[in-house]
Amino acid sequence: MTKIFITDYIETPDIEQEVFGKEVEIICLNEEQEENFPESISEADAVLVWHAKITELTIKRLKKCKAIVRYGVGYDNVEFQCAREYGIPFANTPAYGVHEVADTAISLILTLVRKVSNYN
């Protein structure tokens, strides 16, 4: 059975399970400190990460991993060049939250210009 590890805390991986199907086992570590990742991470076929740092400490343990994917636009918390050296592809989601960030920025600008926050 394919095993996908999610490093960071999420309540339940319902969406991920629906996308990957029943033939995939999703293991939630609920851990952001890679030194606390369990030995079982070496069984990962893929690792999904949000805030946790992924360095060579973890990458060298991923013997059968086919991908490391970051939830989000950045890649500063994953040593992706190290992953490449170990033959593990890295991907992120560069378009994640783009519209939401733009909407929030415009809303905050309007709040300041219209002095709406003075009435709060």
Give yes or no for residue 119 having a pLDDT over 80: no
Distances (CA, A) of 115 to 15, 71, 101, 107, 111: 40, 35, 21, 12, 6
What are the residue ranges spanned by the domains of the chain?
2-95
CB 33 within 8 A of CB 11: no
Confidence tier at 53 by pLDDT (50, 70, 90): very high
- Determine the Cα–Cα distance for residues 68 and 54; give it in Å rounded to an integer: 9
Structure-token pair, residue 87: 């033959």
Calculate mean pLDDT across residues 29-50.
Answer: 95
Which residue has tokens 């994917």?
69
Mean per-residue pLDDT over the chain, rounded: 93
User: Could you tell me which CATH number the domain at 2-95 has?
Assistant: 3.40.50.720
pLDDT tens string 68-114: 999 888 889 999 999 999 999 999 988 888 899 899 999 999 999 99
pLDDT at 97: 84
pLDDT at 98: 84
pLDDT at 84: 97
Given CA atoms 60, 66, 70, 75 in this order, what sign does their dihedral have? positive
* Sheet of 2-6, strand order: 24-28, 2-6, 46-49, 67-70, 90-91
